[in-house]
């Protein structure tokens, strides 16, 4: 098949491929493992229709099965493939050295976050040598409109792109995100340039988050530090914010 044929609008059918992609997308939308029966119901198919496809996906390493419960979930393979794209490699190559320096300077663990289809995804993190730190595993995600890292990315977008992102959040949430409330939040982030506040996900954590901006002035990612709030901590959070902002600015200039 020529490149010209691939570039046309002609539609081709590949039912088996579509079935496999439907399975992967359905599993990606679930935060926990599911049974074969539940997966089949979500897809509107019988267990027999997807049984062989599931076995192939398990054999190729895209799906994993719990040996105790037989429940199914995505493996990290798709996430690993996503990190191999040129855009992701460029972002990681420019961000990780600055994140290492940032971790050393503030003795907290910075995390690199992007948004995919209404959810945040952690694509990079740097641990610290501190006796107590808070490190979130790669691939972890939340609804972008509720996560500090997602809100920072969404804030620094043109209105059209912001609305597309919000529609993705609607789809993830299963209902419409309150547009006035979220717009007020996002506009406030733009005015401040960052987020500094108690985590909406974890107790005892203060979120410190700044955007990484591309040449067009739009956020392509954010760096968030889930700052561990310790009783005897004398660290000035404003200083941490400044350190994160400087790191993000240096990364932005390299993109």
CATH number at residue 242: 3.30.450.40
pTM for the full predicted model: 0.77
CB-based contact 65:57 (threshold 8 Å): no
pLDDT tens for each residue of 29-73: 776 789 999 999 999 999 999 999 999 999 999 999 988 999 998
Write out the residue range of the structural domain in which residue 186 sits: 81-254
Band of the pLDDT at 143, cuts 50, 70, 90?
very high
- We report the CATH number of the domain holding residue 19 as 1.10.10.10
Summarised one tens digit per residue, pLDDT across range 71-115 is 998 887 887 777 777 777 889 999 999 999 999 999 999 999 999
From first CA to last CA, the distance across the chain in angstroms is 35
Q: Which pLDDT score is estimated for 31?
A: 67
- Which tens digit of pLDDT belongs to each residue from 123-138? 999 998 887 778 888 8
Q: Which residue has the higher pLDDT, 229 or 196?
A: 196
Kindly state whether residues 93 and 71 are assigned to the same domain: no
3-state secondary structure of 7: helix
Residues 107 and 222 in one domain: yes
Q: Which two tokens stand for residue 160?
A: 């059209």
On whether the CB atoms of residues 237 and 139 are closer than 8 A, the answer is: no
Give dist(CA 57, CA 129) in Å, integer: 38
Strand-pair partners of 35: none
Angle at 188 between CA 156 and CA 207, to 5 degrees: 80
Domain count of the chain? 2
| CB neighbour list of residue 171: distance below 8 Å, 6 or more residues apart | 117, 118
Mean pLDDT (whole number) for 12-32: 86
Whether 62 and 139 share a structural domain:
no
Evaluate if residue 11 carries a pLDDT over 90: no
Arithmetic mean of pLDDT, 187-202 = 95
* 61 shares its domain with 105: no
Residues 85 and 65 in one domain: no
pLDDT tens figures, 173-182:
889 999 999 9
For residues 141 and 219, membership in a common domain is answered with yes
Residues 193 and 231 in one domain: yes
pLDDT at 208: 98
Kind of pairing, strands 205-213 and 119-125? unpaired
Same domain, yes or no, for 63 and 88?
no
At residue 5, the pLDDT reads 56
Mean pLDDT over the full length of the chain = 90
Mean pLDDT, range 223-248, rounded to an integer: 91
Does 2 reside within a domain? no
150 and 244 within one domain: yes
Q: Are residues 68 and 93 in the same domain?
A: no
pLDDT score for 8: 56
Cβ(83)–Cβ(76) below 8 Å: no
């Amino acid at each position: 098949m020529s490149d010209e044929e691939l570039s046309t609008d002609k539609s081709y059918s590949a039912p088996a491929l579509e079935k496999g992609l439907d399975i992967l997308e359905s599993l990606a939308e679930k935060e926990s493992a599911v049974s074969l029966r539940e997966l089949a119901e979500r897809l509107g198919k019988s267990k027999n229709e997807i049984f062989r496809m599931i076995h192939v996906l398990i054999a190729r390493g895209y799906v994993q099965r719990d040996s105790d419960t037989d429940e199914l979930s995505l493996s990290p393979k798709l996430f690993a493939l996503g990190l191999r794209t040129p855009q992701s490699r460029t972002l990681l190559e420019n961000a990780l050295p600055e994140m290492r320096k940032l971790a050393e300077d503030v003795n907290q663990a910075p995390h690199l976050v992007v948004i995919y289809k209404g959810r945040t995804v952690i694509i990079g993190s740097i641990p610290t040598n501190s006796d107590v730190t808070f490190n979130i595993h790669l691939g972890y995600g939340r609804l972008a409109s509720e996560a500090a890292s997602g809100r920072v990315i969404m804030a620094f977008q043109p209105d059209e792109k912001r609305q597309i992102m919000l529609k993705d959040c609607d789809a993830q949430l299963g209902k419409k995100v309150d547009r006035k409330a979220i717009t007020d939040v996002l506009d406030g982030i733009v005015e401040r340039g960052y987020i500094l506040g108690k985590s909406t996900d974890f107790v005892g954590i203060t979120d410190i988050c700044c955007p990484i901006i591309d040449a067009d002035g739009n956020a392509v990612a954010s760096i968030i530090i889930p700052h561990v709030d310790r009783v005897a901590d004398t660290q000035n959070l404003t200083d941490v914010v400044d350190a994160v902002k400087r790191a993000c600015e240096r990364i932005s200039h390299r993109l």
